[in-house]
Structures are given as structure tokens and as C-alpha cells.
Structure 1
Amino acid sequence: MKIGIDARMYGARQTGIGNYIRHLTENLFKIDRENQYFVFLLKPEFSRYRILSPQVKKIKVRARWYTLSEQLIFASVLNRYNLDLMHFPHFNAPFLYRGKYVLTVHDITQKYFPGASFWRKQAYQFIFSHNIKAARRVIAVSRFTKNDILNNFSCEAKKIKVIYEGVDSRFKPGNKDEALIRLRQKYPLNKPFILYVGVMREHKNVVGLVSAFNLFLKKYRLDYQLVLVGNFDPRYTEIQTKIDRLKLNKKVVQPGFVSFDELLLFYQAAEVLVLPSFREGFGFTPLEAISCGTPVAASNTTSLPEILGKAACYFDPYDIKNMAETIYKILEDRNLQDVLVCRGQKMIKNFSWTKCASATLKLYQEAAALK
């Protein structure tokens, strides 16, 4: 069987989806010795991508995601290869592609947080609705995401398969003091710190976290820093505006996008990871923190309770006071920290890239057999 994989978003800088493509393909190519794979990549990742199996061929394309060329040129490129099945790891399959395909849906956040553009919202609704119907099978990364699709779009439940993602095995506990020493050589970290890792967009509620951090400092009179790891997004300036207004510039450290090695150190050195999102389809970062032995405070909404179970403390992301109280509760209770870490180490075994790849391969076989 000839299987295509849209890897245009491959790479760490595309965060969740990029890492999904990387780990899924690596594990697929280890367990599947029968099928032939065609991996479609953009520059510069095309040059960096290492082929680990003779069954894999990489193809360079010049059609970025969310563009007109994606809808026209990319569809034309795919049609040349006469694939038995194509896997699009995001909702943005080209409208004009008529081959059989599997679609992975990580979330439908753009329906709820479409940004300022009216046309972008309309385009998302049109493309998503069409692709959900056209796909032979749909992978949802959580039960929440599956139900979210069913509640908002026309799709048969039997068409959607929940396949949990995995956690990179390189995330593991380390020496906190050594991690801090290494980080302090580059960043102005002089206090214990609360950590956030992720994109800086509206649905992530980083503005709410900054407000909760400010309340935490004033109410409990504890001396902490807040570290926000992730690329600054020029479309969302509210975070910096909030930091400036609350006069927290000396208390908030913003490293931007960091390498894997530095991210590992931040997880190992943090006192707690906080994920204050309004919406999450899965939630990589709390699982990564838990793998490193770091306690987690997370929103009590959408997929997070499903994924994290009893290995996190939860708060209402719309309630700044509740968020601050939950952070304080973890930081001031060493026994609670130990309990969360212990639960987390047991829970994390449920999330394996090998399991994810195996279930995905089985779904490929089912989808390809459909007329």
C-alpha cells in the first residue's frame, strides 16, 4: 500500500502538530515493514529530515499551510503519486484532493477563537466541514475532541477513532539544582519559578495566568518568578500589555522559543507547571512536566481532566482567584506535590507513541479498505 503523509508542519517550531508528525512517523516506520510511505515536506525541514527506512521517500513541496497554494498546488502534487491513502495530520486537507484520506483533528479551537478575520472564520468552517465529511476516517486525540466534533459538525460517530498521543521518552526527572544553575547562565532566574509552556494565543489564557500570578504575589506575599516559554505572537499583544500594566516586568521571564535541551531544564527546575487554557484538545505540556516529576495545575475544562486524571490540581480558568489559590495550594503543600508526582508517574504510562503508531496503522488499513 502506498501511503502519503502531509509533513509540511513537521518540526519542533510547530509545537504540538509538528511533534505529533515527528513521533508518529518515527514510530510508524519502525513497526511497519510492508507499506511504502511518501512524506511531503517544506523547506528547510526537507533537508533536515532523515530517512530511516528504505520504504520511505521524502518529497519537497512549495505550498504552505492555510494558503491558496495549499488548496491548488498541493492537491495537484498529491494526485501525481496515485496514493492508496493519504494522512493529513491537521484539518487542512486540500479541498480539491479526491483520493482516500485519514484526517487527524487535535481540537476545534479555531471555531471558538477564530481571531479578528471574518473571512478566516468562514474559510475554517467551510474547509473543516468538507474535510470531516470527505475523510474515510477521522482520528481524534481525545474523547473530548471527538465529542466536540460531533456536537459542532455533521459526522457519524463510528467514523471517528480516539487515538491518544504519546510523550517523548526524553522527558524525565533530573537534578533541580543543576538545572537551575545551567538556566541561570543564560536567563535572569533568581527566584523559584512558576512555569508556562505553549503558544501565546487567546485560547491559552496567558493573560489570565499573569493576572493570577499578580494576585498570588500580593495575597500570599511569596517571592516567585513566572516563566513564559513560547514564541511571542505579534497578533496577540495583550500579554505584554498586562505585564506592563501590572509592573511585573522584573518578575516575568520570557525566554521565547527554546531548544529541547533547555525545555527539559525548565521542566526539571520549575516548582509547578500551570496550563490555564480555555480550550485544549489534548495537552502535551502537562504530560511533559509530569514526566519530569513536576507538579501540574491545570484548567478544569475540555480535555484536561480526561488526559491528566488525578495527576493534577484543577481550577476554573475564568476565575483568577481560584487559579491563584490552586497554585498556592500546590506550592505550600510538599505532601500534595509528592502525591501528584507519584500519580503522574503511573498515569504517564498510558501515553505511548508506539501505541499511537500501532493504532494509527490499523486505522490506515481500515480506511484504505473502504470504498
Structure 2
Amino acid sequence: METDCTRDELPDNGGVITPLPAGTRLLHIGPHKTGTTSIQSALFEARDEMARHGVEWPATTRHPMEAVLAACACTGMMGDVEPTERHWERLLERVRATGRRTSVISSEFFADAPDDGTIGRIVGQLGGDRVHILVTLRPLARIMPSQWQQYVQNGLRMGYEDWLEHMLRKPPYDKPNPSFWRRHRHDRLVERWAGVVGAERVTVVVVDDRDRAGLLRTFETLLGLPSGLLRPVPDAANRSLTLAETEMLRNLNKEFRANELPAELYSQLIRNGAVMHMKNTCTPGPGDVKIGTPRWAVEAAAEIGAEIAERIGASGVRILGDLRLLSETQKPATRTEGEPRIAPETAAQALYGALAAAAAAPVRHTAGARSRTVHQTSSMELVRVLGHRCLKRLRLR
């Protein structure tokens, strides 16, 4: 096993991480909640500078999500545009256009590839033996709260502790989110990709949250870029929700599902309206309660993390960082007493975000309607009318 430790120990080659060969197509597959958005933002922001140093970013956006979902035969986020093969083909065309230059593609949704055949097809289409796989890992105890609130942003209605019970104590551990362990049983994820490309073409980076710039420096070195070229990009829209914000959204999800409103409406008004505006305009303060993981779940995650570290360590892949971090038992957040309360300003911004999203999709009336005031119309009927109008606008688009 080749082990490069970026913090407490030095690798056998004197502490130097060897850059990948020129012409490599570096495929960063995540998984989710391991620093993917921060590295994608930094790479996208620096794409012109990288090109001057011989490294291409083929995607036209920060994250080519639709293309990767199509490649992995996965559905999109609830209510979003359905990914098609054409999304993937367009990305492949841009990858091929890079010629013999080094290039980098990053998406955590590659971790959702369902089988070896899909992985083999993706690797073959991206360049076969030119492809090198990069996996970034964090401790499960730090991933779980972030992943739960992300599932809530896609319509999940289950509370955090109940969700943990299902993921950690209720075999076969595939409800309500079968994607969780496909993504986050990290040893099996590494084994699936190494089984297709070979262990020598897989690098695992263990992210150390104490070193916020460490992941950027690792990417620079692997790609042969000058130190300091990749810089953090502030992104309020990517922040995690507080416990109160998540609980507000989770209860809204219950009402949304109970009234059988369409998924397209959820995408436009809730996720990309209320939640996005709230995250962009409201910064959590020291008094806001974070999502706290109970001790039993932290210990269960650490035990699984130790198994993951042992199997990855014996897999023959290149390891950058300290695998012992994957079995860390420090509790990520402490649950305070009392019920979480959302600030009135935060609730107002969320409501405004939904109204602004609705206002951005005006609908022309095709037939006369009997005039009624808002006060003469039931709240349920108002919601249904608003949903109908937004859907009509979406279909016109």
C-alpha cells in the first residue's frame, strides 16, 4: 500500500505528492458532502488560469449535474429537468476537444453509478486508460447530518433521529434513501471503481477539516498547477441548513405531499425559491442550533468508518491523508435543550423567496374568470391555483 500522509506523517518520497502524468483525465467522483462544491467552485473560477498551465475544465458550468445523472442513468432532483443522454454527449464532446491536454471533471453524482457496466462505459467514453479516479472522503459522523438535510431539501419528511435509526439499525438499511450507503459505504465505492480501472489509477484523499485549504492544495499538486492558483469561492447558497430551518422545510414537505402538489412546483417554489433565497440572505448566528447527532449514532458511524479505513488501506489504491480520521468519534454538534425556533426574519425571507419565484413565472389568462379577492378564496384553493399557474408557465417554457 502506498500511503501519503498530509499532516502527521510523511510519505516515503519525502513529503512530495507526485503529480499525475500530463494528459491525464482526472475524474473526481465525490462522494457527496466531502468538499465537492468547494473544489468545483474553485476549479470553475480558475478555469482560464488553469488552461494557461495546460489543464482544462471541459464543463460549461460549475457542476455538470444533468450530464452525470444521465451517464449514471439516475433521475434528477425532485421536480427538476429530467437529464437526457444529450446532456452527457455534450460534455463528452467538450472532453474530447481537450485533445492530449490534462483535464478534470468533478461530480459527486458519479458515486451513484449503479454497476460495473455503467462505470466501465463512463471510463471508456472519457478516455479509457487516460482516466484517473479521485475519491474524497470525510468521517461518516460529519457526513450524516449534512446528507440528511440535503435529502430534506429534496422532499424527505422523516426526522433526523428516525432517519438515523433506519440507516444504522434497520436492515437492509435502504429506506428511505437507498442512495446513502451506495455513496457512503466508501470502501465499496473505492472497490467498485478500482475493480474497473485498476487500483493504480485510483487516489483516495482523506479530507482533514482542520486544514481548510488542504484539499485545494492537493488538487493543485495532482494537476501540476502552481500553489495558490485555486482559491476558496464564497457560496452562501451551498451552506447547510440549521436544525430549525430543516425542520421548517421538513414540515412543509409533509403539507406538500399531503396535498398531492406536483413535483415541478416543489422544484420552482420551494427548493429553488424559498430555500435558495433563505440561504442566500440569512446567515446562521451563534444562537442557531446545528443538527446534532446522538452519541449512539456517532459511535456506530465510527465503527463503520474503522471498517472502511481498514478495507481501503488494504486495497492497493493511493492514499493521501490519514485514514484514521474516518473512524473519528468526536461529536460534530451538540443538541441543545428545547425546541429549535426559526427567526422571524428567516421565515420571512423563505416566504419571500417562494413569492418571488412565483412572480418570475407569469401566466397569461386564456379565458375570462369571475373576479374574487384573495380574502374570498380558501388557502387551499390559493395554493392549487398558484401551483397550476406555475406549472403552466413551466410547460410553456
Category of TM-score, reference length = shorter chain: 0.3 to 0.5
TM-score with structure 1 length normalisation?
Answer: 0.35
Q: Which has the higher contact order (CA 8 A, sep 6+)?
A: 2
Q: Which has the higher strand share?
A: 1
Return the index of the structure with the highest Cα Rg. Answer: 2
